[in-house]
Amino acid sequence: MKIKFWGVRGSLPSPGPSTVRYGGNTTCIEVRTDNNDLIILDGGTGIFALAQTLLREMPISAHIFNTHSHWDHIQGLPFFIPIFIPGNKIKLYSSFDPVSGEGPERIMNVQMQYSYFPVREAEMKSRIEYLVAMPNESMEAHGATVTPVLLNHPVINLGYRIDCNGKSAFFTGDHEPHTNIYDPGDDGYAEYQSLIEEQRQSIVDALRGVDVLIADCAYTKEEYPAKKGWGHGTFDTSIELALAVGARVLYCTHHEPTRSDDDLEKVFAEALARHADAVDKLDIRLAREGDEIVF
């Protein structure tokens, strides 16, 4: 299996000299099976650069798994050139939205309304299918098994586990560890804490034994209290999750858009220092646009 990062920033594209080393595009990850079949995780702005490379492979068959519908994870999809080319086959997976009552088709038809985008959805000439992904219901994609896992974010967010020929990877999308809404001593504290522990354990069980974990590390431990409830993790919580599931490699991603490359390396080093005992058990890396891992 091969993984390549095409976008690693969160919330907002942040191109410029201060982000040139790690990249300014928002989330997009290319996964290739051992047979070189194509799976794409999220369609942030990084998917545009991926699309340029795919033009050399026409026609293509791609499975795109969208974690959730926030802009930084979908805004590149209308610029994914293969959707406009006849002969290409695209399957777009995402959750069902209980608010709108729609599935992944909404990701495209809202963005491609003519008042927002100059090319109409009707002009997509590829064969495109919209499929609803359901938590814990595995799907086959090019011989790989893809299993959605419900995580914690202000909208429905599905992380995806990919298993292929004995190798596995998991991408969280955006995920904030569950916390108790009650204070210790409140009437509802114990019951809610039990529910949280159950949710945490279900996530650990779903991720257990993955080779590569790609996780939301938007904030530092010090920043998190002011960002609580925004739906993002920290370097520390992602390291703890990686250790709990027995991952071999952790890629920290969804880099804060206001953080320069120098600042990113600084806070990453500080997190590693706090978890010095984990370095022998876990390979911890900063996700970088253009980086590839083959395993």
pLDDT greater than 90 at residue 37: yes
Distance, CA of 95 to CA of 148 (rounded, Å): 9
Strands 144-150 and 158-164: antiparallel
Kindly report, residue by residue over 6-32, the tens digit of the pLDDT: 999 999 999 999 999 999 999 999 999
Confidence of residue 142 (pLDDT cuts 50, 70, 90): confident
- Portion of the chain with pLDDT greater than 90, in percent: 93
Specify the DSSP class assigned to residue 102: B
Confidence of residue 191 (pLDDT cuts 50, 70, 90): very high
Report whether 128 contacts 121 (CB < 8 A).
no
Q: In sequence order, what E strands does the chain have?
A: 2-7, 28-32, 38-41, 61-65, 89-94, 127-132, 139-141, 144-150, 158-164, 167-171, 212-216, 249-253, 283-286, 292-294
- Count CB atoms within 10 A of the CB of residue 17: 8
pLDDT score for 279 = 85
Q: For the chain, which domains are there?
A: 2-294 (3.60.15.10)
Kindly report, residue by residue over 54-110, the tens digit of the pLDDT: 999 999 999 999 999 999 999 999 999 999 999 999 999 999 988 889 999 999 999
Q: Which helix (H) or strand (E) holds 194?
A: helix 189-207
- Portion of the chain with pLDDT greater than 70, in percent: 100
Report whether 26 contacts 43 (CB < 8 A).
no
The arithmetic mean of pLDDT across residues 141-163, rounded, is 96
Mean of pLDDT over the chain: 96
Specify the DSSP class assigned to residue 76: T
The arithmetic mean of pLDDT across residues 153-163, rounded, is 97
